């Protein structure tokens, strides 16, 4: 059993302090010297393997810059990774939970020591500003620390309660399940990537990690940390590649035991479907854990503190340019305070500074051309569906640099069933919806197929209690922003089409990657 202090989330760096800003800028310089331009090969069975083709990361805030590259795995590489991982599983599954957990704790210490480098790399690779990058690296550290401790809970024959029965010993054992693939998105390329591989690994499984195409460098960076921390060869196979090629190959493969996926609803549902089909030679029903998109709404009623509500709306809507599954993309305001709330929201959002992640702007460029085009298309749709209150342009340029820049955009008086109020846009585009009253607001909040995050700004106790039970969201927040779940504090995962509600960073998350065996011995 580990002898360590109780879990406590990392605190965030205060960038109102000048010396912290100076330290961040020094990290940016260091990263520009040491990591920009770097190439990360695949890692199969602990060996670095390069490929003929590569995947390049482009700086979204300055598209003339190639930040670096990774290898691009083929299906042959995926097959080798799968075979090697099963070999590694034979010994890894026998490691004790505390021995496995020590590797996560060591990785956490290594990541803490390189915290600002990881942040700076994300500022350049995906355009995160300082606070957004820092919150993410803190979350990655938290995942390592939290899952290391969680692993203890599943240790030994008596890990779960069973009832005593005369003449027998009965007990439950939690067992690892095998080799799985972890497929992650670009928007939390450090924390979600790392959390989604660390959890199954500490539970005794082996993982093939397939990062998103746009964020291979930060994935390579943290993969190296996991290996430096002492993971045996083959336990973690690093397999950057194209989702539709290697991702598809692995999710449909007979030897894949589990799939943990975080990404868009379309891809997630596709994986759910193909993974359900039993392949020749397949011996199990694949476990599929899906965490998908959202169309997250926050209600403001007539009893709310308007200043609190507007601050929550601006933070929830525009943090990392709205590129969070948790982002507030619908602001639902009760008619009697609609004008007051919306005027203040538009005024505050209009003051946000647009620029690069490296310059610590409030709103930076969106991640890639596909997102840029998609967001532009939705802004066009919005202009036909509602009243444009702010922004509405996609300049594609800022300060003389070409990049995927989209103005913070707000539409008002959006019908609740409009496309911009129902479909995930994943950018800085907000629909404000007018509700007749509180009940109408709650009905509107629940009127999408998603159910990830949600919020209510109100001082009415009865309404908060009603929302507690009736608001369809996996993560519900009152009188604050609806983003920024903290590991262990706000376990994270969505309802309905937002996912399987696996609750990353929650007390039972590791159980997703285990099977239970009941053993009875009669005396
Ligand atoms: N619920 C959550 O916890 C959560 C967290 C972060 C992001 N998201 C969601 O993720 C989306 C943004 O991320 P994205 O653009 O990277 O999503 P995406 O679905 O386009 O890609 C996610 C991953 O899936 C891979 N992929 C694509 N096609 C595949 C296939 N056929 N088979 C296997 N893998 C395949 C991609 O290469 C990538 O690694 C948004 O919808 C956002 O809401 C959800
Ligand atoms: N866990 C993050 C969102 C992850 C999705 O993009 C939050 O709570 O804001």
Reported ipTM: 0.99
- Tell me, in angstroms, the distance from the centre of ligand 1 to residue 115's CA: 25
The full set of domains in the chain, from first to last, is: 44-60+68-292+501-522 (3.40.605.10), 296-486 (3.40.309.10)
Going residue by residue through the chain (523 aa), what tens digit of pLDDT does each one get? 889 999 999 999 999 999 999 999 999 999 999 999 999 999 999 999 999 999 999 999 999 999 999 999 999 999 999 999 999 999 999 999 999 999 999 999 999 999 999 999 999 999 999 999 999 999 999 999 999 999 999 988 878 889 999 999 999 999 999 999 999 999 999 999 999 999 999 999 999 999 999 999 999 999 999 999 999 999 999 999 999 999 999 999 999 999 999 999 999 999 999 999 999 999 999 999 999 999 999 999 999 999 999 999 999 999 999 999 999 999 999 999 999 999 999 999 999 999 999 999 999 999 999 999 999 999 999 999 999 999 999 999 999 999 999 999 999 999 999 999 999 999 999 999 999 999 999 999 999 999 999 999 999 999 999 999 999 999 999 999 999 999 999 999 999 999 999 999 999 999 999 999 999 999 9
Which ligand neighbours the alpha carbon of 193 most closely? 1
Look up tokens 């399940």; give the residue. Answer: 177
For the chain, state the CA radius of gyration: 23
Parallel, antiparallel, or unpaired: how do β-strands 514-522 and 168-176 relate? antiparallel
Greatest CA separation for the chain: 80
The question of whether 457 is a catalytic residue gets the answer no
Q: Is residue 291 annotated as a catalytic residue, yes or no?
A: yes
- Which of 9, 194, 295, 324 has most ligand 2 atoms within 8 Å of its beta carbon, as the pocket-test mutant? 324
Nearest C-alpha neighbor of 63 from the set 288, 396, 499, 311: 396
Residue nearest to atom 5 of ligand 1 (CA): 325
Is the CB of residue 255 less than 8 Å from the CB of residue 179?
yes
Instruction: Identify whether the C-beta of residue 112 lies closer than 8 Å to the C-beta of residue 141.
Output: yes
d(CA 287, CA 491): 20
> Which of 72, 191, 267 gets mutated to test ligand 1 (max ligand atoms within 8 A of its CB)?
267
| Look-up of token digits 């590489």 | 77
Q: Which atom of ligand 1 is nearest to the CA of 291?
A: 1
List, in sequence order, the alpha helices (H) in 171-323.
Answer: 191-202, 216-228, 248-251, 265-276, 306-318
Distance from the alpha carbon of residue 268 to the mean position of ligand 1, in angstroms: 7
**210-230 burial, b if ≥16 CB within 10 A, otherwise e?**
bbbbbbbbbbbbbbebbbebe
Exposed/middle/buried for residue 336 (C-beta within 10 Å: 0-12, 13-18, 19+): exposed
Query: What does DSSP assign to residue 215?
Result: G
Query: CA distances (Å), 500 to each of 245, 264, 268, 492, in order?
Result: 24, 13, 10, 11
Nearest bound ligand to CA 366? 1
Q: Is 452 in the pocket of ligand 2 (CB under 6 A)?
A: no
pTM: 0.98
Q: Dihedral angle at the C-alpha atoms of 228, 206, 499, 175, nearest 10 degrees?
A: -120
Q: Residue with structure tokens 């309802």? A: 495
Residues in contact with ligand 1 by the CB-under-6-Å rule are 183-188, 192, 210, 212-213, 243-244, 247-248, 251, 262-264, 267, 270-271, 291-294, 325, 424, 426, 452, 494, 498-499
Q: Pick the atom of ligand 1 nearest to 498's CA.
A: 1
Contact predicate 378/425, CB 8 Å: yes
Ligand nearest to the CA of 327: 2
């Amino acid at each position: 059993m580990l002898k360590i202090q109780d879990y406590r989330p990392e605190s965030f760096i205060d960038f109102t302090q000048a010396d912290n800003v100076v330290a961040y800028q020094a990290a940016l310089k260091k990263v520009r010297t040491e990591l920009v331009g770097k190439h990360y090969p695949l890692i199969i069975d602990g060996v670095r393997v390069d490929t003929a083709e590569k995947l390049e990361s482009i700086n979204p805030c300055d598209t003339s810059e190639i930040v670096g590259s990774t290898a691009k795995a083929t299906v042959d590489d995926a097959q080798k990774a799968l075979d090697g991982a099963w070999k590694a599983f034979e010994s890894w599954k026998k490691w004790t939970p505390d021995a496995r957990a020590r590797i996560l704790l060591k990785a956490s210490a290594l990541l803490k020591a390189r915290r600002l480098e990881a942040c700076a790399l994300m500022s350049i690779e995906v355009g995160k500003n300082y606070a957004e990058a820092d919150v993410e690296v803190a979350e990655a550290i938290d995942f390592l620390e939290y899952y290391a401790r969680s692993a203890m809970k599943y240790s030994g024959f008596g890990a779960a309660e069973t009832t005593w029965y005369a003449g027998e010993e009965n007990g439950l054992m939690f067992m690892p399940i095998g080799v799985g693939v972890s497929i992650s998105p670009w928007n939390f390329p450090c924390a979600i990537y790392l959390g989604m591989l660390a959890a199954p690994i500490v539970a005794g499984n082996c993982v093939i990690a397939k990062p998103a195409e746009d964020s291979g460098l930060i994935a390579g960076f943290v993969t190296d940390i996991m290996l430096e921390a002492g993971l045996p060869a083959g336990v973690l196979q690093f397999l950057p590649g194209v989702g539709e090629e290697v991702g598809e190959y692995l999710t449909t493969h007979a030897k894949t035991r589990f799939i943990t996926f975080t990404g868009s609803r379309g891809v997630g549902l596709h994986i759910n479907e193909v993974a359900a089909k039993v392949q020749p030679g397949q011996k199990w029903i694949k476990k599929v854990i899906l965490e998908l998109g959202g169309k997250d709404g926050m209600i403001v009623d007539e009893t709310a503190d308007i200043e609190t509500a507007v601050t929550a709306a601006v933070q929830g809507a525009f943090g990392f340019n709205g590129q969070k599954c948790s982002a507030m993309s619908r602001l639902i305001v009760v008619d009697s305070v609609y004008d007051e709330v919306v005027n203040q929201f538009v005024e505050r959002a209009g003051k946000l500074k647009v620029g690069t992640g490296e310059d610590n702007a409030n709103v930076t460029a969106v991640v890639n051309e596909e997102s840029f085009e998609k967001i532009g298309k939705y802004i066009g749709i919005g202009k036909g569906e509602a009243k444009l209150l702010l922004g509405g342009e996609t300049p594609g340029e800022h300060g003389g640099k070409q990049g995927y820049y989209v103005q913070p955009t707000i539409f008002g008086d959006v019908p609740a069933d409009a496309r911009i109020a129902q479909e995930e846009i994943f950018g800085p585009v907000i629909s404000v919806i007018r509700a007749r009253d509180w009940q109408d607001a709650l009905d509107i909040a629940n009127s999408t197929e998603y159910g990830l995050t949600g919020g209510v700004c109100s001082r009415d106790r009865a309404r908060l209690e009603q929302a507690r039970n009736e608001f369809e969201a996996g993560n519900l927040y009152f009188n604050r922003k609806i983003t920024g779940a903290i590991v262990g504090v706000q376990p994270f995962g969505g309802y309905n089409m937002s996912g399987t509600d696996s609750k990353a960073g929650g007390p039972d998350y590791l159980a997703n990657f285990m099977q239970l065996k009941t053993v009875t011995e009669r005396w």
